[in-house]
Structure 1
Amino acid sequence: MEFNEQKALELMEKYAPDKDTYEKVMAHTMAVQEIALEISEKIEVIDIEFIKTAVILHDIGRFKLPPWSKDQIKHGVEGANILKAEGWPEKFQRVCENHIGVGILKKDIEKDNLPLPAKDYIPETKEEIIITYADNLTINDQRTNEEEIEERYRKKLGEEHAKRVGKFHEKVHEMIHE
């Protein structure tokens, strides 16, 4: 089986519970893709075709765990499970799992009793980092900026998380200037 944008779109349609939900998730996804591709143009040695496809799938778990659901934090793990069941390679599964926030640490899962398997969910490859960054800069289908994101994390999760977000942003800027 080929793993490309068209197959990703078909899979999104398959798992969408209804047209309205599909359109909302895809509006967000296309906004994330636009930012991810802008950033990708500035970074060497990355797989653009992978980014185009993986961005489409990064929130497939939202169809089962939408933003208003109690366990919505698990949508990344749920997305990875869907891709695994559908035979998609692990690198796509990892994007789903690791794009939440700027990554979730095992210690935070345990400390905050989050409904996730206890392990680190950290974007590691350049492609994972780009997609996570672009996702963070997109609220629904609107672009925001780094300062707003850091402030949002500060208000919601505290200073430590805001600093982690700031360091993540610095990592992206370093990748751009390599």
Structure 2
Amino acid sequence: MTSYIPTLDQIDELHQKIAPSQAAYDLVHMHCVVVATIARQLARHQNALFTNKLGQGSGNALDDSAGAAEQADLPSDGITGGRVPKRLIDEHLATIGGLLHDIGTYRVLKHDGSDGEPLQFDGKRYILHGLLGYEYLLEQGVDESIAQFARNHTGVGLTQQMVIAQNLPLPPVDYMPVNLEQEIVMVADKYNSKSIPPKFLTAQAYAKRAERYGEANKRRWLDLVDQYGVPDVPALAARFRMRMI
């Protein structure tokens, strides 16, 4: 079977096909829409920084920071900070990846909301959602380059050593982003939670979560924030009518 890059309509069909209930679809699909929105904003801001640096040349250190973008009054979608990326980001690819990254969470539900019980995830199996989403997308003929967004977005990246040290129920290999688009989706994912009800997190709030897994994990998150900048979380929370912590 020839693999394919799904269109927006096909992405929705992939969600509808695997979702066990309307309640599950509403929660997971909306989270994916939010993450795709943030990923597109981050990608666009990175591209603005990159393009601005090309226009200015490789002058002083200011060219490598968001200060250069602010001086040039570049569009940022509310993103503040950030550093110039190594290359231009494929905004469309990041958007598609965001829309599909959490599709495996349909397969780690304890209650899907259709049996009279509240929608609830199976905490012990939740760590499998990235791998299960990856496998589902491949089963449906989606190209490997897209399926990897599901596999490689958990936390701020899982290494083989982390899987072994934490005794996680995953094959002991790396689950790390392999390109900038995957990394952007991984970062965008941290600003929104599928808790019930769902909520937005500030960069500082997620830093506290990351610290639970060690100082190095927190440092990795803060480095990513420094690279990609900070989205306007209050504006996003208002736009999607969700709470914020």
The answer to whether the superposition gives a TM-score over 0.5 is yes
Which runs of structure 2 are paired with 1:26-105 in the superposition (5 Å)?
26-44=29-47, 45-66=88-109, 67-105=121-159
Counterpart amino acid of residue 204 in structure 2? E
Counterpart amino acid of residue 105 in structure 2? R
Deviations 1:25-83, CA, capped at 9 Å, x for gaps: 11211211221111121122222222222211111100001443311101000000001
> Structure 1 segments of 4 or more deviating over 6 A?
none
Q: How many angstroms does 1:21 deviate by?
A: 0.5
2:207 pairs with one of 140, 143, 150: 150
Would the aligned equivalents of 2:46 and 2:228 in 1 still touch at CA under 8 Å? no
SS at match of 1:43: helix
2:151 and 2:20 map into 1 onto residues whose CA distance is 21
Aligned length: 172
1:51 and 1:160 map into 2 onto residues whose CA distance is 26
Would the aligned equivalents of 2:5 and 2:143 in 1 still touch at CA under 8 Å? no
1:53 and 1:6 map into 2 onto residues whose CA distance is 11
Rg bigger for which structure?
A: 2
2:182 alignment partner in structure 1: 128
Which runs of structure 2 are paired with 1:138-177 in the superposition (5 Å)?
138-140=192-194, 141-154=198-211, 156-173=212-229
1:176 alignment partner in structure 2: none
2:43 and 2:163 map into 1 onto residues whose CA distance is 31
Would the aligned equivalents of 2:153 and 2:182 in 1 still touch at CA under 8 Å? yes
SS at match of 2:183: helix
Q: How many angstroms does 1:2 deviate by?
A: 5.2
Q: Provide TM-score, normalisation by structure 1.
A: 0.89
1:19 and 1:86 map into 2 onto residues whose CA distance is 21
- Identity, in percent, stands at 27
**Greater fraction helix:** 1
1:2 and 1:124 map into 2 onto residues whose CA distance is 18
Would the aligned equivalents of 2:156 and 2:217 in 1 still touch at CA under 8 Å? no
2:131 and 2:5 map into 1 onto residues whose CA distance is 23
2:169 and 2:227 map into 1 onto residues whose CA distance is 28
Unaligned runs of 5+ in 2: 48-87, 110-120, 230-245
